[in-house]
Structure 1
Amino acid sequence: MIKEINPGDTALSANAYKDNSTSTYNFLKSLEIRENNSGVSTGLQWLKSKGETIASHSPVDGKLIAVVTSADRESYTTVINKAGEAFKLWKMWPSPKRGEVVRQVGDALRRYKQPLGKLVSYEMGKSLQEGYGEVQEMIDICDFAVGLSRQLHGFTMHSERPGHRMYEQWHPLGIVGIITAFNFPVAVWSWNTMLALVCGDVCVWKPSEKTPLCGIACQNIIAEVFQKNNVPEGVCSLVQGGRELGEWMANDTNIPLVSATGSTKMGKSVAAAVGARLGRSLLELGGNNAIIISKDADLDMSLIGCVFGAVGTAGQRCTSTRRLIIHESIYDIFKDKLVKAYHQLRIGDPLDENNHVGPLIDKEAVSMYLAAIERCKKEGGNFIVEPGVLKGKGFESGCYVRPCIAEVTKDMDIVQHETFAPVLYLIKYHDLEEAIAIQNGVPQGLSSAMMTLNLREAEQFLSSAGSDCGIANVNIGTSGAEIGGAFGGEKETGGGRESGSDAWRTYMRRQTNTINYSTNLPLAQGIKFDL
C-alpha cells in the first residue's frame, strides 16, 4: 500500500452504505480510504495539503461517503517536481519492460473488478453492470497497451543522397496531465495513462471533484504494482481539486500535453491556456449524437440501440443518443415502439441489477435537466413521454429523473445543445440527404449512427458526403466504443483521439534522423558548397 503521511483519524462509517454495498465499504477500508483523506499522491506516498475539502456524496442515496483534501499550490508543485524527476528514469526503461508493469496493472484490476465497479456505481450513479463494464474497459486498455509496448514503430525512407539512411522514431514526451469527468471516473484515466506509460511518459491525474474516491482507489491499486516493480516515485500521481487546479495544469509549462475530458466550455478554456504556451492538448468534449432511422431499418434491433443510447448512464455519456432522425414513412410506428419501451424502464438504485436507469450525478444536473425541458416546451416541443423528478422511497437523494421524449423540429435551438441528461428529441426526415444534413447541423461532432439494411444508404452515410463525426456506426448505437479504435470527435468535440489505433502517437514526439555512412558530405537538393 501507499505509505500514509496524513491518515484520517476515523474509519468510514458503515452507515454510509446500503447492505448490498458491503463489499464496497470493505474495499475502501482495504485501500485505506477513510472519512478524511489526502487527495494528493506522488504514487508512493500521500502528501499533506492545506487545500479545500471535497465531500463525496452518493447520488444513489444522498449519503456522505468520505471527505478528501484537495491539492494546494505547495503540494501540487511537489507532485510536478517529483513527476519531472521520475520521467528522467522512466523514459530509460525499455518499452516492453514498461509494458510488463502495465500487464500487472491489468491483472490487479481483474482482481478488483467487482468492488471497484461497485464503487463506480455507488459514487457516480451508473448501473452496476455499467460500473463493471467501465472497469473491464480499463482491463482491455491494459491488454492493448501491453501489445503496443512492442510496436512503437517509426518509418524508414530512402534518402536522395548516396550513402545515407533516413528514418523517423518516436520518443517519450514528458509529463501528461490528465483531467477527467465524473461520468467515466476511472476508464478515461486508464485510456490515457496506460498508453502514456508504455510510451515512456509519466502522468498527473486530476479526477472530477464529483468522484474523488474512484481516483483514490485507482491510485492505491496501481501503487501495489509499482512498489513490487520498483517503479520510480512520481510516474503516476494524483491531484484532487476543482477548476483552479485545472487552470494550474493548463498553464504549467512543465506539462507538454494536457488531456482534458469534459464540457466544450471547459475544453475551450484549456485549449486557449495550453495553446498560449504552445503546448499540446488532447480534448474529448461534448457530444450531440444522433441516430438516423431509415425506412429500411430493422426496427426491433434499432429500438435496442436507441433506448440504451438515450438512457444508459442516465443520459450522462458524451456518446449518449440525443436525437433520433426518423424517416417520415415509419415515424409513427417507431415512435409507438419507443413510447412502449420507455414505459417499461425501471428507475432506481443502480446497485440493483434489475434497474435500467440510476440517478443523475447531483442536484445541479437535475436543475439543468429541468431547464432544458422548460426551454424545449417554450420552443414548441411536444413531450410524448413526460419528464419529471422522482420522489418518495428509494429516491431520497433527489437525483432521480424520468427519461423523456420530445417531438421537435430541426430548426429548434434546443437541439443544437447537449443536455447531459436522459432527454431524447425526435425529428422527421424526408430523404437521406436531409437526414445527413440534420445529423451534421450541430456544433458537436462526436458519435453518430444509422440504422438501415440498405447497403447504398449505409455507404453514403459513411462516405465523405455523410457523417462529419469522429465515430460513425451502422446498425449499432452511438455509445459503446471499443478500445481497439481511436475514440474522439470533430468540431466542438475537440478533435482529440484516445484509446486504440494510432492514438499512442499523441503521447510521443516525432524525430526524423539521417545518418551519413559515406566518406563524403553531399548536401540536400544538390547544393554545392566547396571549401
Structure 2
Amino acid sequence: MANRSAEGDAHRPVAQEVAELMRALGVPDASWRGGARQSRSPITGETVAHVAEASAAHVADAVTRSVDAFEAWRTVPAPRRGELVRLLGEELRAHKAELGRLVTLEAGKVLSEGLGEVQEMIDICDFAVGLSRQLYGLTIASERPGHRMMETWHPVGPVAIITAFNFPVAVWSWNAALALVCGNSLLWKPSEKTPLTALAVQALFERAAAVFGTAPKGLSQLLIGGADVGAALTDDPRVPVVSATGSTRMGRIVGERVARRFGRSILELGGNNAAIVCPSADLDLALRGIAFAAMGTAGQRCTSLRRLIVHESVYDTLVPRLAKAYASVSIGDPRAAATLIGPLIDKDGFDNMQKALEAARAAGARVHGGERVDVAGAADAYYVRPALVEIDEQVEIVRHETFAPILYVLRCSGLPEAIKLQNGVPQGLSSSIFTNDMREAETFMSAEGSDCGIANVNIGPSGAEIGGAFGGEKETGGGREAGSDAWKAYMRRATNTINYSRQLPLAQGVSFDID
C-alpha cells in the first residue's frame, strides 16, 4: 500500500466517540449494545456497536401497528401534520453537530459532508411544512351544465422506506417528511451497514412526537435487518408504497415483488453519470466541478461523476491538470479538517473497484491512481487513491456503474458525439455540461440532449438541492423524491364530479331515458 498518514490531530477511538454521540442523541443502549448484528466504522474497520435486529415476523406486527397509526393520522389536518415535521426539523437543528459527526463515523464521509447531510434533512422538513398547506388539486371544466369536476388527493397508507449506506439519513428524510405531511405512516429499513444513524434519527423523531403530543403510536417505526426484512416489507399488501434506494439489482427485485401485488414503487437506483466539457468551457470552473463530483464522498454517491467526455481541442489541457489534482488530493481520516476523501465503506467496495480497474486495463485503458492508501491506525479500513482512467472507447466496464472513485475519461469531436456517449449507458440519473455556448447548453437540456432525470449546466452532476424533484430514467428506476410535485407519489388521487343541477345530462351526449 502507498504510504500516507491521516491529516489532523490525533483522535479519540471511534468506538468511544460513537458511544458518546449515541447517548447525546438519546439512543437507548439496549438498541445498539448486545444485539446480534455487528456494526463497524469504515474509518478504522473496528466494530463499534452490536445492534438488535428485527425478523420477518417482527415486520408483520410492525405493519399492523403502522396501519393503525395511518388510520388515525390521515384524519389529522395536513397543516397540523406539518407541525410534527416542523418539530422534527427543530430536533435536527438542535442536534446537527452530533448527528452529522455520527454520519461521518458510520459512513466515512468527511465532516462537512456529514453536517451537510443533516442540513439536507432540515431543509426538507422546512419544505414539507410549507407543503402541508399546499396539497392542491385541480378544478376541471365539465362539459355538462350544472356540474363541477375536481381532483382531490388523499393519504395512501403505510410507506416503506429502504435506504442505502451512502446517504444513511438524508434519503429517509426526503421520503419521511413528505409522506408524513401527506398523512401516511412510516416503516424504515436502513442499510445494514449504517444502522446507528437510523437509531439516532428515530430517537429524534420520537422526541418530536412527544412534544407534538397526539401523534399515534407506531407512526414511524425502524426495522433493522437483512434481506428478509426488506422482502417482508415489499411483499406485504398492506404497504401500498415502497420507496427503495440502492443498486439496480436490488431495484429489479423490489420493483417486481411490489408490482406483483399491484403496489407502487419509488425507485432510486444506479447512476453512471457523465459530464461533457466543450471547447468554450471555463476550464478552471470545470476542474473544480469535476473534482468534487468525481472524488467527493469517495465516489460513493449515486450522482458521482463516473464518465468525463472531453472535446479533443481541450483534452490535452484539462486532463493533465485533473491528473495532478488526483495525485495530490488529501486522503485520510474524515474527522481531520484537511481531509477531502475518506474511506470506502468496506472491503467489498474496495474489491469491486480493483476488479473494475483490472477490466479497464485489459481494455487498453491508462489508469492513474486507484491504489490502496495506508492510513495510520486504520489497517482494517479501505482508503484508496481516486482513479483517473483514460480510455479510448465506452467499453462494457465503462457502461457499468462501479460504486467507487473511478472516473473514465473519453475524447469526443463534437456535441452530437458527446451526447451519444452520454446517453449510451443503461442508467439515466444525472448529467452535466461545461460550456459557455448558449446553443450547446440549450441543446443539452432539450429533448435531443441528455436523457437523464437531472441535466446541469456548468456544475457537476452531484449535489442536488431538495427544491427540485430528484430521480432518473432507464435503469435508475424512474422514481422522484424531494421537491417539486414529488409529494404526489405518496398520495392517491380521486377525480370527483358534483352535479348541483336538477338535470342528469350524460357525458359525450349519451342518452339513457327511462320512464
Work out whether the TM-score is over 0.5: yes
Q: Is the 8 A contact 2:60 2:232 kept in 1?
A: no
1:147 to 117, 130, 140: 130
2:69–2:218 Cα contact (<8 Å) kept: yes
Q: Specify which of 174, 181, 197 is matched with residue 214 of structure 1.
A: 197
CA contact (8 A) 1:35 1:65 kept: no
Distance in 1 (alpha carbons) for counterparts of 2:504 and 2:464: 51
Alignment of 1:302-341 (within 5 A): 302-341=286-325
CA displacement at 1:372 relative to structure 2: 0.8
Residues 245-302 of structure 1: CA deviation (Å, up to 9, x unaligned) = 1111111101000000000000011010011111100000000001001111000000
SS at 2:357 equivalent: helix
Aligned length: 503
Contact 1:21-1:118 at 8 Å conserved across structures = no
Give the aligned partner of residue 236 of structure 1: 220
**For 1:472-512, what per-residue CA distance to the aligned partner results, in whole angstroms no more than 9, with x for missing partners?**
00000010000000000000000000000000000000000
Alpha-carbon contact 1:106-1:138 (below 8 Å) kept: yes
User: 1:19: Cα distance to partner?
Assistant: 5.9
Q: CA deviation at 1:194?
A: 0.1
SS of the aligned residue for 1:329 comes to: helix
In structure 2, the residue matched to 1:274 is 258
Match of 1:286? 270
AA partner of residue 160 (structure 2):
G
Matched, 1:387 2:370: yes
Q: How large is the Cα RMSD of the aligned pairs?
A: 1.6
Matched, 1:497 2:491: no
Give 1:74 deviation, angstroms. 3.0
Secondary structure, in 3 states, of the residue corresponding to 1:390?
strand
Output the amino acid matched with 1:284: E
- Aligned residue for 1:325, secondary structure, equals strand
Q: Do 1:36 and 1:67's aligned partners in 2 also have CA atoms closer than 8 Å?
A: no
Query: Is 1:284–1:489's contact at 8 Å kept on the other side of the alignment?
Result: yes
1:231 counterpart SS class: coil
CA distance in 2, matches of 1:373, 1:86: 49
Distance 1:448 1:313 in 2: 18
* 8 A contact 2:55–2:228 mirrored in 1: no
Q: Which has the higher contact order (CA 8 A, sep 6+)?
A: 2
Rounded Cα–Cα distance in structure 2 between residues aligned with 1:28 and 1:424: 36
2:498 corresponds, among 504, 515, 523, to 515
| Structure-to-structure mapping, 1:132-531, within 5 angstroms | 132-229=115-212, 230-383=214-367, 385-391=368-374, 393-531=376-514
The one-letter code sitting in structure 1 at the alignment partner of 2:364 is G
Letter matched to residue 204 of structure 2: I
Match of 1:201, SS state, is coil
- Structure 1 residue identity aligned to 2:304: S
Structure 2 distance, partners of 1:276, 1:88, is: 25
Identity over the aligned pairs, expressed in percent? 53
Deviation of residue 364 (structure 1)?
A: 1.1
Q: Deviations over 1:73-115 (max 9, x none)?
A: 3322221110000111100000000001101111110001011
List runs of 5+ in structure 1 lacking aligned partners: 1-16, 40-48
**CA contact under 8 A between 1:349 and 1:394: conserved in structure 2?**
no
Q: What's the offset of the Cα at 1:150?
A: 0.3
| 400-409 vs 429-438, greater mean Cα deviation | 400-409
**Which position in structure 2 is the counterpart of 1:80?**
63
Residue type of the partner of 1:66?
A
Output the CA distance in 2 between the equivalents of 1:337 and 1:368.
27
> What code does the residue aligned with 1:411 have?
Q
Contact 1:24-1:115 within 8 A present in 2 as well: no
How far apart are 1:23 and its partner, in Å?
Answer: 6.2
Q: Which residue of 2 aligns with 1:26?
A: 20
Per-residue displacement from partner, 1:434-493 (whole Å, max 9, x unpaired)? 000000000000000000011111111111110000000000001000000000000000
Uncovered stretches (5+) of structure 2, i.e. residues with no partner: 1-10
Deviates more, 1:417-426 or 1:64-73: 64-73
Q: What residue in structure 2 maps to residue 8 of structure 1? A: none
After TM superposition, the structure 1 stretch with the greater mean CA deviation from structure 2, 88-97 or 515-524, is 515-524
Moved more, 448-457 or 155-164: 155-164
Partner secondary structure for residue 367 of structure 1: helix
* Corresponding position of 2:83: 100
CA contact (8 A) 1:390 1:398 kept: no
**1:343 offset after TM fit, Å?**
2.1
Q: Distance in 2 between matches of 1:246 and 1:439?
A: 33
Indicate if the aligned counterparts of 1:449 and 1:472 stay in contact, CA closer than 8 A: yes
**Matched-pair contact (CA < 8 Å) for 2:248–2:476:** yes
Q: Given residue 501 of structure 2, which amino acid in structure 1 is its aligned partner?
A: S
1:477–1:363 Cα change, 3 Å: same
Q: Is the 8 A contact 1:141 1:194 kept in 2?
A: yes
